[in-house]
Amino acid sequence: MTPHNLPRFDHNPLRYTALGNSGLFVSELCLGTMTFGGDEDIWGLIGQLQQEQADELVKIALEAGINFIDTANIYGFGASERIVGQSLKNLGVRREDVVLATKVLGPMGEGPNARGASRGHIMSECKASLARLQTDYIDLYQIHGFDPATPIEETLEALNTLVQQGHVRYVGLSNWAAWQVMKAIGITWARNLCPVTSLQAYYTLVGRDLEREVIPMLASEKVGLMVWSPLAGGYLSGKYEDPDVSEENRRTKFDFPPVNRERGKEVIKVMREVADGKQIDGEPVTVAQIALAWLLHQEPVSSVIVGAKRPDQLKANIRAAQIRLSDDERKALDEVSRIPEEYPGWMMAMMAGYRNPSES
């Protein structure tokens, strides 16, 4: 693979879309790197891939047309970022050919100021991330979660400083509530700060809570949505609901994100029906690929983050982009996974008819 001619799978072109209300185009699939660099810690439970193994996955992703890579300073306590940066060097990738995203918030030291979204922590950790990634700028710098101890104004001012300095090009949030994102947007308007470009959040067929408040807000404010854990921590592979799986093997090591298994069983049943008989490149379509395909059919989604421990897993995830669900299949999946109605949602839907000309 040469820097000026990254190979692409011509039979599997990925779609590209602008991230939020920006001119930054990203692939509909994003390579997640939480499996890179784990040790005998929580990150080791997710993945312990080292440089050579990571290089192979990064190469597969780039060759498939993925131009978007997501990591975080806390993944492997910096190891993931170091491996990602070295992979791009090892593969001879031009910096402008890849969109690098990383995150800040989690504890990177023992002291009380070595964590959070304070100005001090953001500024020092951005510098450390740049060094580990071996780059002079980060395309998308994200706050990994909400910090109740730091004023949102302080966080946004720090991000704006990094953009003005040229170390960061776009800023995003992750795991924030709708009101928190909206408050941040209001502050950026009032203070003329760099805008919030994206939100990284959990969204799956067994976790559609985002549709209550967050997704309508993102659509209204033109903020892009990046989806993490699209297989619900492996649950939507279907293997945990196999009749032969013992209760001890059902996500016992890392039961995350939480899943309502009673509802989940019914969702997976319909997913299996949708997958039945479908093929991609002569291979049977899997339940996991249906989960990814459903997300890729959702209009609010800008990019779906896919990670893997093995090349075959990553290739299977990438093939999901070729699946086109029929209207009936989408309807069946939507109905079985639909979240229960809550107030004020049901009241708003009912009263919206007052102003809908088609209903008058």
Active-site positions read 75
Largest CA distance in the chain: 64
Residue 325's Cβ-count burial label (10 Å; 0-12, 13-18, 19+) is: middle
Which residue is associated with the tokens 């991609």? 280
- CA dihedral for 204, 208, 214, 215, sign (positive or negative): positive
Q: Please choose, from the candidates 180, 114, 119, 101, the residue with its C-alpha nearest in 3D space to the C-alpha of residue 145.
A: 180
Print burial letters for 200-232: b (CB count within 10 Å at least 16), e (below 16). Answer: bbbbbbbbeebeeebbebbeebebbbbbbbbbb
List, in sequence order, every residue forming a beta bridge with 29; answer none if it has no partner.
304
AA identity, residue 266? E
Q: Which residues pair with 104 in a beta bridge?
A: 143
